């Protein structure tokens, strides 16, 4: 538990990134250049986007439901709070009751925020927007 990771511990991860990246690049290049390059047939109609066979209407760069953005923002807020839990969790056994009580205070604040957005209806997807 007292071990301190030095930079050399991360060298294998670096090697793994290089190996995985080269695998992906090689497979992509093989499938692109060696096999399918000459076989590709192109035409304007064919390269349309798929829309169940009917004429395409506009493109897919349009605004979509704001709920998704709301979820993304809530995720950022909550994820930061989750990250605050980690240092406490690692030291939980040493900190004893006092550490737990301080954390309960934090959890109470966390739950208060959660209760607020719950009541605001952020998680109700099928409610009509007024």
| Encoded tokens for 70 | 């709301």
Which of 109, 118, 120, 121 is close enough to bind another protein by CB under 8 A?
Answer: 118
Residue 130 CB, shortest distance to another protein, in Å, is: 17
Smallest distance from the beta carbon of 71 to another protein, in angstroms? 5
Footprint (CB under 8 A) of another protein, residues 66-105: 67-68, 71-72, 75, 78-79, 82, 85-86, 89-94, 96-97, 100, 103-104
Residue length, the chain?
A: 130
Residues whose CB falls within 8 Å of the CB of residue 84, separated by 6 or more in sequence, listed in order: 106
> What's the token pair of residue 80?
């930061």
Residues 114, 95: Cα–Cα separation, whole Å: 26
**Which chain residues interact with another protein by CB under 8 A?**
1, 3-5, 9-13, 15-17, 19-21, 23-25, 27-28, 30-32, 35-36, 39-41, 44, 47-52, 59-61, 64, 67-68, 71-72, 75, 78-79, 82, 85-86, 89-94, 96-97, 100, 103-104, 107, 110-111, 114, 118, 122-126
């Amino acid at each position: 538990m007292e071990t301190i990771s030095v930079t050399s511990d991360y060298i294998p991860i670096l090697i793994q990134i290089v190996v995985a990246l080269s695998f992906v690049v090689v497979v992509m290049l093989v499938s692109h250049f060696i096999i399918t390059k000459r076989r590709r047939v192109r035409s304007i109609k064919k390269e349309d986007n798929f829309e169940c066979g009917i004429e395409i209407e506009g493109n897919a760069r349009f605004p979509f439901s704001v709920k998704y953005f709301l979820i993304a923002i809530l995720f950022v807020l909550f994820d930061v709070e989750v990250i605050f839990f980690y240092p406490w969790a690692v030291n939980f056994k040493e900190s004893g009751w006092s550490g737990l009580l301080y954390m309960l205070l934090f959890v109470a604040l966390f739950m208060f925020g959660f209760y607020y957005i719950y009541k605001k209806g952020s998680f109700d997807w099928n409610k009509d927007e007024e």
